[in-house]
């Protein structure tokens, strides 16, 4: 393999730049040319492809976001769009790809490889940490710390004003961000998609706390919680407990930005190297990940279809510490 491409796709995550840097410098270390594909699959279709060298990725390891940009592509979901993307790769003599992204990125990569035979190795870049095949995804550690910093500040004002704050963090299909934030932030309740906690039980827990003369509360809600978003849940709680002073804070997209943590920079660098060396060694349609501190390659199909369970010991920890 003499020439590869690298792109970032889907939601941006802190550490993506560190991964791009590792991909570029590992490829060059092995004598392989590397091209950056701008704006994910959208840029691949349009031919937004640029040659990268070691200076192209200098001084980016500490930067949030992605220098390659990211975009979602409706056109890539069509056979015609994927054909156009393949034609652009052929024009640039690109023989393999490193895809940095999440579930949607790997779904597209698996289909693309099946139709056109372009080998792809994935790097898990998503703050949600919901990909099977790796203990942690690039950007997750930073996102948790960003959200926790906000929660610490919210806790201060909740205590000062005797209020109940419902704090919504990211995690459409996963409570991986919400649970450590709830434990680390001293929350009384955490609501995540993986559990079946009812609104009635939330109201009951708050009522018990009030009977114990507790004056302020913190409820952390993953945005995909089945009972609804934080605003919807808080409204219903207020109806059930009118005397409770309720506020809602949505932490939002600040969780995606900012300089990556040391853990994310290290993980991104490790996985970036593994992705390139996997391609060189003939791997295809797999994601490089770290499980029990060991490098593993997991088929895209498993990453996409297999559910990554939440840590039940964390849920037990939450139950004990919130009493």
pLDDT one-digit tens code per residue, 298-322: 999 999 999 998 888 999 999 899 8
Cα separations in angstroms, 323 against 204, 277, 317: 13, 49, 10
Are 197 and 116 in a shared domain? no
The verdict on 188 and 113 lying in the same domain is no
Residues 27 and 103 in one domain: yes
Please tell me whether residue 288 adopts helix, strand or coil conformation: strand
Could you tell me if 165 and 126 lie in one domain?
no
Residue 317 belongs to a domain? no
283 backbone dihedrals φ, ψ, rounded to 5°: -80, 155
Has 65 been labeled as part of a binding site? no
Tell me whether residue 163 is annotated as binding: yes
Instruction: Say whether 187 counts as a known binding-site residue.
Output: yes
| Residue 161 among known ligand-binding residues | no
Give residue 227's pLDDT. Answer: 78
* Pair (129, 148) in one structural domain: no
Q: How large is the C-alpha radius of gyration of the chain?
A: 22
* Same domain as 181, residue 157: yes
Q: What is the model's pTM?
A: 0.95
- pLDDT, residue 173, reads 84
Q: Which residue has the tokens 């434990």?
A: 183
* Residue recorded with tokens 């769009």: 81
Would residue 310 count as lying in a domain?
no
Same domain, 84 and 171: no
Q: Is 24 annotated as a binding residue?
A: yes
Indicate whether 69 and 94 sit together in one domain.
yes
Which residue matches tokens 């600040």?
Answer: 254
**Could you give the CA distance from residue 255 to residue 152 in angstroms, rounded to a whole number?**
14
Does residue 174 sit in the same domain as residue 87?
Answer: no
How many whole angstroms separate alpha carbon 218 and alpha carbon 195?
A: 18
Output the pLDDT for position 323.
Answer: 74
CATH number of the domain that residue 229 is part of? 3.40.50.460
pLDDT score of 172: 81
pLDDT confidence of residue 306: 96
What are the pLDDT digits (tens) for 175-200?
A: 999 999 999 999 999 999 988 889 99
Catalytic residues: 128
16 carries a ligand binding annotation = no
What domain range is 47 assigned to?
3-139+260-305
The segments of the chain whose pLDDT lies below 70 read none
Domain assignment present for residue 289? The answer is yes
Evaluate whether residue 158 is within a structural domain.
yes
pLDDT at 322 (0 to 100)? 84
The β-bridge partners of 180 are none
**Based on the structure, what is the number of domains in the chain?**
2
For residues 198 and 300, membership in a common domain is answered with: no
Same domain, 135 and 266: yes
Does the annotation list 129 as a binding residue? Answer: no
């Amino acid at each position: 393999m003499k020439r590869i491409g690298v792109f970032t796709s889907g939601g941006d995550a802190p550490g993506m730049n560190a991964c791009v840097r590792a991909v570029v410098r590992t490829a060059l270390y092995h004598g392989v040319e590397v091209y950056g594909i701008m704006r994910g699959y959208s840029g691949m279709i349009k031919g937004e492809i640029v040659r990268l060298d070691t200076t192209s990725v200098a001084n980016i390891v500490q930067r949030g976001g992605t220098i390659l940009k990211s975009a979602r592509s409706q056109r890539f979901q069509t056979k015609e769009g994927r054909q156009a993307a393949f034609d652009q790769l052929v024009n640039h003599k690109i023989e393999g790809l490193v895809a940095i992204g999440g579930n949607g990125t790997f779904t597209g990569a698996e289909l693309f490889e099946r139709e056109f035979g372009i080998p792809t190795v994935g790097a898990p870049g998503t703050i949600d940490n919901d990909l099977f095949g790796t203990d942690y995804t690039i950007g997750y550690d930073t996102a948790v710390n960003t959200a926790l910093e906000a929660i610490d500040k919210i806790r201060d004002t909740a205590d000062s004003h005797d209020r109940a704050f419902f704090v919504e963090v990211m995690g459409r299909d996963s409570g991986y961000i919400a649970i450590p934030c709830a434990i680390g932030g001293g929350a009384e309740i955490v609501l995540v998609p993986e559990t079946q906690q009812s609104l009635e039980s939330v109201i009951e827990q708050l009522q018990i706390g009030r009977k114990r003369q507790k004056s302020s509360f913190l409820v952390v809600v993953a945005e995909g919680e089945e009972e609804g978003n934080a605003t919807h849940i808080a409204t219903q709680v207020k109806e059930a407990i009118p005397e409770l002073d309720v506020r809602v804070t949505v932490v939002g997209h600040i969780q995606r930005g900012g300089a990556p943590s040391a853990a994310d920079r290290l993980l991104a660098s490790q996985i970036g190297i593994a992705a390139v060396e996997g391609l060189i060694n003939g791997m295809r349609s797999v994601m490089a990940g770290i499980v029990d501190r060991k490098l593993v390659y997991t088929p895209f199909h498993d990453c996409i279809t297999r559910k990554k369970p939440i840590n039940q010991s964390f849920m037990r920890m939450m139950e004990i510490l919130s009493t």
